[in-house]
Amino acid sequence: MDLTANVSAQPGAAPIEGLSDAWHWSRMIFNFDAVLTPDHQHLLEMRVMGRYDAALAQAVLRFARERSDQITGSGRPLVPLGGFACPGWEFDTVAAVSPGIHENHAQDDPDLHKATYTLFPGYRTEFSGTETEDEAIHLFRRALQPTKLDREPVPFLKMRYDNTRTKSHSIGPHRGLAPLEVLLHELSLLEGAPGSYVEWENRLGQVWKAEYLTALTLHGPSQAPQERATTADALISLAEQSVIRADKPE
């Protein structure tokens, strides 16, 4: 497939000045920016709904194209690329999503869909770098709002829980992706519910478990094992920081 001919033929597509093999076009409330990988075998595409910034979009394209081998050669459904920066924005990561996760061009041009990786700017706290296909689908389609530039970070979090008093519990034996608000809410309900627990995992794979038998007890991650009594306020504060500030050198 001739990607150059295909993409340049998109209705309203115009070359992006100063960026080779790249085009911009718009349709209704969406702006589209796309660039070919250096080998012309794949398309890296960014879609924005609502507020749009051409400088940011072009910075994302340049950043991703320079690292296209990491994207197309990873075999992963979602690839977060750290070290991104653009003046006026707090994004520090560019995420690339494989054709198995997004649906761009899937209906009108299946061949183009298979050659396209979708890009969006994000925050490194949002990704573990080891996302499964199901996790990548959840993040891309439900959690992160990848087409919106005006959004707050959504920290990566997996959890499971069971509360004997409220009868609320997670489904299945494994930790699943969840919003931070759910974790903090369930922790606030833990005290006074004998036999209940909340277990959570941050983007680094560190796992904590809080439980209530006759008192609130916190079990630390395996990297720094600890077991200690705690209070509800201290537990909630620790949990929030463990998720929001989970960091490692990029």
- Which of 88, 90, 78 lies closest to 121, judged by CA? 90
| CA 12 – CA 49 distance, rounded (Å) | 17
Q: Which residues contact 125 (CB under 8 A, 6 or more apart)?
A: 153, 155, 156, 203, 243, 244, 245, 246, 247
Q: Helix or strand or coil: residue 196?
A: strand
Q: From 116, 126, 21, 122, select the one nearest 71 (Cα to Cα).
A: 116
**Strands (E) located in the chain:** 14-15, 22-27, 30-36, 43-49, 78-82, 93-97, 116-122, 158-162, 176-177, 196-201, 207-212, 216-219, 227-229
Least confident of 54-58, 101-105, 115-119: 101-105
Confidence at 247, pLDDT banded by 50, 70, 90: confident
Q: Are strands 158-162 and 93-97 parallel, antiparallel or unpaired?
A: unpaired
The predicted model gives 63-86 an average pLDDT of: 97
Question: Do 149 and 121 touch, CB atoms closer than 8 A?
Answer: yes
90 pLDDT more than 80: yes
Residues written for the chain:
250
Q: Is 22 helix (H, G, I), strand (E, B) or coil?
A: strand
Mean pLDDT (whole number) for 88-102: 97
Q: Is the pLDDT of residue 70 over 80?
A: yes
Over residues 104-123, mean pLDDT? 94
Mean pLDDT of 124-133: 96
Distance CA 12, CA 24 (A): 8
What average pLDDT does range 110-139 have in this prediction? 96
Place of tokens 């660039």: 35
Residue 206 backbone dihedrals phi, psi, to 5 degrees: -75, 135
* Helix pair angle (232-244, 180-188), 10° resolution: 170
Encode pLDDT of 13-39 as tens digits: 999 999 999 999 999 899 999 999 999
Provide the pLDDT for residue 249.
46
> What's the pLDDT score for residue 250?
45
166 contact partners, CB below 8 Å, separation of at least 6 = 189, 193
Share of the chain above pLDDT 90, in %: 90
pLDDT in tens, 146-189: 999 999 999 999 999 999 999 999 999 999 999 999 999 999 99
**Sheet containing 176-177, strands listed edge to edge, beginning at the edge strand earlier in sequence:** 176-177, 158-162, 196-201, 207-212, 216-219, 227-229
203-234 pLDDT, tens digit per residue, is: 999 999 999 999 999 998 865 556 788 899 99
